[in-house]
C-alpha cells in the first residue's frame, strides 16, 4: 500500500505553488502557536476568519505579524517566485454558532431598556428554551454582549486593517451548542486550543433560534456594505434563508438590465440623444458611486458551499449588484467526491470559484488540503493545473480587493 501510494504521488504532475495559491477561508487562530508555521508554508496568503469573542484579538495579532501592506502587494502576485513573503488577510465577524451570546440593543425605541438578564436572554434565543432543570448549562454560558458593542468592534478592526473582510458570519440550522464543561474535563482540556470552541464536548439539545441568527447576520452584512468590504458566509441547512437574507440587503439596488437595443446603442458609442456615448467623466462617476456605502456587501463568498446545483443559479442573476463567489474545501465538500459535489463545482462559473482549507491550524496539513482541493477542482473543471491555479488566484484577488480595488492597486493584470 505504501509503495503504491508513493508511486502514485511520484507520477502526479508537480504542483505549481510558484504561481501563487490562496486560501479563501481558514481558522489558524484556533491553534494560536501555529502562526509560526506561516512563513514556512507553500500557500501565498491565508484569509483568516474570526468567529467569537475569544478570537477577534487573535486575528489582529496574526494581522500585525503577517498583514498585507501596500509595499508587499507586488510580491504577493509575482508568478515564478519560489519563496515570496507569506501574508494573511484578516476577517472580523461573529459566527452563527456563537450568535446566542449577543443581545440586540440597536433598536432606538428600546434605548432606555436595561440590559437583559442573562438567563432570560438565553431562554429567549435558544430552542428549545432551557427549563429550570438545566440551570448548570445556562450558568456556564458567557455573559451576553450587546450587539452595538460587537458592531463597534468590527468597524474599528476594519478601519485598522484596510484590506480586512467581514467573516465568518452566516446561519446554521443543524448546529447544537456543546454541553457545559465537567470539572475534570475542563481541567484536562488542550491548552494549545483557543477557548470557546467545542473541544470534544458532548452536544446539548439546544440550537440558536433562526430569527436571532438572521438578525445578527443581517446587521453584519449591512456593516460590510457600509465599509465596502467582502464577506465570508457560512450556510448549513439554511441555504434558502441565507439567500433571502442576502437578497433583502440589496433590495432596491438591483442592477438595471439593459434591453438589447440599449446594449447595442452603448456598445456602438451612441448615447440616447444620438450623440456620443459615455465619457471618461461618466465612467469615473460610476466608479465613485460603486465605492459608496450601501446596505449590501460588494463581494460575497459562500464558504464551503454545500447547497444543491440548482441553487447556484439564483446567485448568478445579472441584476444582483454584489459579486458572488463559491468556495470549496476538502474537509466539507470533497472528502468524498460525490455526484452532487461534482455537479455543483461544474455549475459555478470559472471566474466565481475559490478554494479553501477551512482548517484550524496553519502548516503542512493546510498546504496539503489546499493542494488536494485545487487538484480536485481542476480535474472536475477540466483545467490544467497551471491554468487552474492562475484562475483561482485571479478569483481570490477579485474577491478580496474587487475589480476596481485591484485596478487602483496596480493588480489588474495577471502578471505582476
Grid cell listed for 16? 505549481
Torsion, Cα 166 171 172 175, to 10 degrees, reads: 60
Extract the C-alpha cell encoding 387. 491554468
**Is the Cα torsion angle 159, 164, 165, 167 positive or negative in sign?**
negative
- pLDDT in the model for residue 266: 64
The pLDDT value given to residue 4: 46
pLDDT at 167 over 80: yes
DSSP 232: E
Cα–Cα dist 240/302, whole Å: 13
Mean pLDDT along residues 221-244:
98
3-state secondary structure of 349: coil
In 3-state terms, what secondary structure has residue 353? strand
In our burial notation (b when 16+ CB lie closer than 10 A, e otherwise), range 237-250 reads ebbebbbebbeebb
- Phi, psi dihedrals of residue 106, rounded to the nearest 5°: -95, -5
Strand ranges in 150-270 using DSSP code E only, listed in sequence order: 165-172, 207-208, 231-236
Crossing angle of helices 210-227 and 147-160, rounded to 10°: 30
| In the block, residue with C-alpha cell 470549496 | 328
Whether 261 shows a pLDDT value over 80: the answer reads: no
> Are the CB atoms for 392 and 353 separated by under 8 Å?
yes
The neighbour count for residue 53, using CB atoms within 10 Å, is 17
C-alpha 197/C-alpha 216 separation (Å) is: 19
Question: Quick check: helix, strand or coil at residue 286?
Answer: helix
Closest Cα partner for 216 from 154, 292, 301? 154
Q: What is the pLDDT of residue 361?
A: 97
What is the pTM assigned to this prediction?
A: 0.90
Question: In this structure, are residues 100 and 208 in contact, taking their beta carbons and an 8 Å threshold?
Answer: yes
Which grid cell sits at 232? 465570508
Whether the predicted pLDDT of 408 surpasses 80: no
- 153 has a pLDDT exceeding 80: yes
- pLDDT of 275 higher than 60: no
Peptide bond into 45 cis (omega under 30): no
Count CA atoms closer than 13 A to 150's CA, side-chain side.
31
Q: Collect all residues with Cβ–Cβ distance below 8 Å to 214 and sequence separation of at least 6.
A: 171, 241, 245
The secondary element (H helix, E strand) that includes residue 301 is: strand 299-302
pLDDT digits (tens, 9 = 90+) for 192-227: 899 999 988 999 999 999 999 999 999 999 999 999
Percent of the chain whose predicted confidence (pLDDT) is above 70: 85
Question: Could you tell me the three cell numbers for 231?
Answer: 464577506
Nearest to 299 by CA among 24, 45, 8, 56: 24
User: What is the rounded average pLDDT for all residues in the chain?
Assistant: 89
| Grid cell listed for 73 | 502587494
Segment 144-158 mean pLDDT: 97
Instruction: Please state, in angstroms and rounded to a whole number, the distance separating the CA atoms of residues 53 and 32.
Output: 15
Say whether pLDDT at 367 is over 90: yes
pLDDT of residue 269: 59
Up-side HSE of residue 228: CA atoms within 13 Å toward CB?
Answer: 12
Give the model's pLDDT for residue 289: 65
Question: Which grid cell sits at 10?
Answer: 511520484
Task: Tell me the pLDDT tens digit for each residue of 99-134.
Answer: 999 999 998 776 667 888 999 999 999 999 998 888
Q: Is residue 171 pLDDT above 90, yes or no?
A: yes
**How many Å is the maximal CA-CA distance in the chain?**
80
Amino acid at each position: 500500500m505504501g509503495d503504491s501510494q508513493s508511486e502514485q504521488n511520484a507520477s502526479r504532475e508537480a504542483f505549481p505553488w510558484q504561481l501563487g495559491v490562496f486560501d479563501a477561508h481558514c481558522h489558524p487562530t484556533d491553534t494560536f502557536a501555529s502562526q509560526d508555521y506561516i512563513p514556512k508554508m507553500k500557500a501565498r496568503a491565508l484569509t483568516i476568519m474570526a468567529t467569537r469573542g475569544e478570537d477577534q484579538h487573535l486575528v489582529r495579532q496574526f494581522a500585525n505579524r503577517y498583514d498585507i501592506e501596500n509595499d508587499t502587494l507586488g510580491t504577493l502576485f509575482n508568478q515564478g517566485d519560489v519563496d515570496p513573503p507569506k501574508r494573511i488577510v484578516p476577517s472580523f465577524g461573529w459566527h452563527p454558532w456563537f450568535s446566542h451570546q449577543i443581545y440586540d440593543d440597536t433598536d432606538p425605541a428600546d434605548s432606555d431598556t436595561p440590559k437583559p438578564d442573562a438567563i432570560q436572554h438565553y431562554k429567549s434565543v435558544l430552542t428549545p428554551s432551557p427549563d429550570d432543570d438545566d440551570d448548570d448549562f445556562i450558568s456556564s454560558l458567557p455573559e451576553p454582549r450587546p450587539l452595538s458593542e460587537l458592531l463597534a468592534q468590527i468597524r474599528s478592526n476594519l478601519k485598522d486593517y484596510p484590506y480586512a473582510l467581514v467573516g465568518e458570519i452566516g446561519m446554521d440550522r443543524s448546529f447544537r451548542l456543546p454541553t457545559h464543561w465537567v470539572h475534570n474535563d475542563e481541567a484536562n482540556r488542550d491548552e494549545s486550543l483557543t477557548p470557546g470552541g467545542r473541544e470534544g464536548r458532548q452536544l446539548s439539545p439546544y440550537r440558536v433560534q433562526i430569527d436571532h441568527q438572521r438578525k445578527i447576520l443581517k446587521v453584519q452584512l449591512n456593516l460590510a456594505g457600509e465599509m465596502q468590504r467582502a464577506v465570508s458566509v457560512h450556510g448549513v441547512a439554511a441555504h434558502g434563508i441565507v439567500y433571502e437574507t442576502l437578497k433583502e440587503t440589496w433590495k432596491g439596488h438591483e442592477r438595471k438590465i439593459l434591453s438589447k437595443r440599449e446594449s447595442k446603442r452603448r456598445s456602438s458609442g451612441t448615447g440616447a440623444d444620438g450623440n456620443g456615448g459615455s465619457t471618461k467623466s461618466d465612467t469615473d462617476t460610476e466608479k465613485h458611486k460603486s465605492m459608496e456605502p450601501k446596505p449590501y456587501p460588494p463581494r460575497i463568498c459562500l464558504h464551503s458551499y454545500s447547497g444543491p446545483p440548482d441553487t447556484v443559479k439564483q446567485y448568478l442573476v445579472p441584476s444582483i449588484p454584489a459579486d458572488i463567489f463559491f468556495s470549496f474545501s476538502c474537509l466539507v465538500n470533497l472528502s468524498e467526491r460525490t455526484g452532487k459535489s461534482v455537479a455543483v463545482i461544474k455549475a459555478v462559473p470559472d471566474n466565481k470559484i475559490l478554494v479553501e482549507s477551512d482548517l484550524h491550524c496553519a502548516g503542512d496539513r493546510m498546504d496539503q488540503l489546499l493542494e488536494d482541493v485545487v487538484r480536485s477542482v481542476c480535474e472536475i473543471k477540466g483545467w490544467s493545473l497551471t491554468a487552474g491555479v492562475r484562475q483561482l488566484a485571479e478569483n481570490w484577488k477579485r474577491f478580496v480587493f474587487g475589480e476596481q480595488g485591484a485596478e487602483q492597486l496596480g493588480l489588474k493584470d495577471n502578471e505582476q
